[in-house]
Amino acid sequence: MIIRKSMAELEKMRRSGLLVAQILQELRGMVKEGVTTYDLEVTAEKMMQDAGAKSAFKGYYSAAAGAKFPYVLCTSVNSEIIHGMPSKKRVLKPGDIVSVDTGVQLDGYFGDSATTIAVGSITPEDEKLLEVTQQALELAIENAQPGNRLFDISGAVEKHVVKNGFSVVREFVGHGIGTSMHEEPQVPNYVDRNSENPRLKPGMVLAIEPMVNAGGPDCHVLSDKWTAVTKDGRNSAHFEHTVAITENGPWVLTRPSSSRP
C-alpha cells in the first residue's frame, strides 16, 4: 500500500531531509586524498547525535545479509555500487570516486540521500559517469509530477543513461519513504513491464536513486554480504534525493534550495 503524507508530515520529512543534506555537504568537504571512509563515518554519526536524530542505516536488518548493517553511512568506492562499509583501512586516493549514502530518522520521519564525489582529478569517463548519473536524477525529478506514472520517472533515467553509453543497475531500486525507511512503491531506474506502474499523486514521497555503471548492468555481492560491486569491475556512480509529489510539482526534501511548491 502506498502511503500518502499530509503537508504537516511533509514538513517533518523536510527537516529530516535537510539534516541529511547538511551531513552530505560536510562529508563532501572532507573527501580528499588520505582520508579514510571511516573518517567520514565518525563525522556523520556525531552530526546525527548532535541533532538528536537516529541513523536510518545503522542497525537496519537485511534478510539477504542475515545481519544488521553496522554503520550510519554506505561508502562505495569505484566499482562498488552501493552498501559499501566504512573502513579504517580504506584510504581514499586521487582518481577514486566514492558514493556516500546516508539516511536519518528525526521525529519519526525518514530522509535519504546520496552523492558521488571525486577524489582529486578523475578520468574523463568517470567525469561523464558522474555527470550523466546526476543528470538522470534531475530528469527523474522533473517527471515526478502529479498525474504522471512511476514509469515516467523510471523511463527518464533509463533513456538518458543508455543514450550516453552507460547502463542502469537492475538488482537494486529506489523506494517509497516516510515513517519507514522503505515503503511502497519500488522505484526502478528502468521500465519493468512486469512491475506496478502507479499514478503519481500528491502526498507520495519517493527516494529516487539512479545507480549507473560505466560498463554492463550486472553486479554481485561480496563476501561481507552487503557490498554490491559491478561484475565487470568498471566503476559505478550513485545519486539520490527524497522527493515529495505535491499538487504543484516535485519538492526535493533533501535539497536545501528546493522550496515548497
Examine residue 23 and state whether it is found in any structural domain, yes or no: yes
229-255 in b/e form (b: 16+ CB < 10 A) is: bbeeebbbbbbbbbbbbbeeebbbbbb
| 2 found inside a domain | no
105 assigned to some structural domain: yes
Cell 504522471 -> residue: 148
Task: State the CATH number of the domain containing residue 122.
Answer: 3.90.230.10
Residue 133, in any domain of the structure: yes
Residue 75 near residue 84 (C-beta atoms within 8 A): yes
Full pLDDT tens readout for the chain, 261 residues: 999 999 999 999 999 999 999 999 999 999 999 999 999 999 999 999 999 999 999 999 999 999 999 999 999 999 999 999 999 999 999 999 999 999 999 999 999 999 999 999 999 999 999 999 999 999 999 999 999 999 999 999 999 999 999 999 999 999 999 999 999 999 999 998 888 899 999 999 999 999 999 999 999 999 999 999 999 999 999 999 999 999 999 999 999 999 988
Q: Would you give the DSSP letter of residue 11?
A: H
With respect to residue 128, please indicate whether it lies within any of the assigned structural domains. yes
Domain membership of residue 260 (yes or no) is: no
What are the grid coordinates assigned to 94, written together? 586521487
What percent of the chain stands above pLDDT 70? 100
176-196 pLDDT per residue, tens: 999 999 999 999 999 988 888
- What range does the domain containing 51 cover? 7-252
In a domain, 259, yes or no: no
Q: What is the rounded distance in angstroms from the CA atom of residue 187 to the CA atom of residue 150?
A: 7
Total domain count for the chain? 1
Within-domain flag for 261: no
Among 41, 37, 66, 38, which residue's Cα sits nearest to residue 223? 66
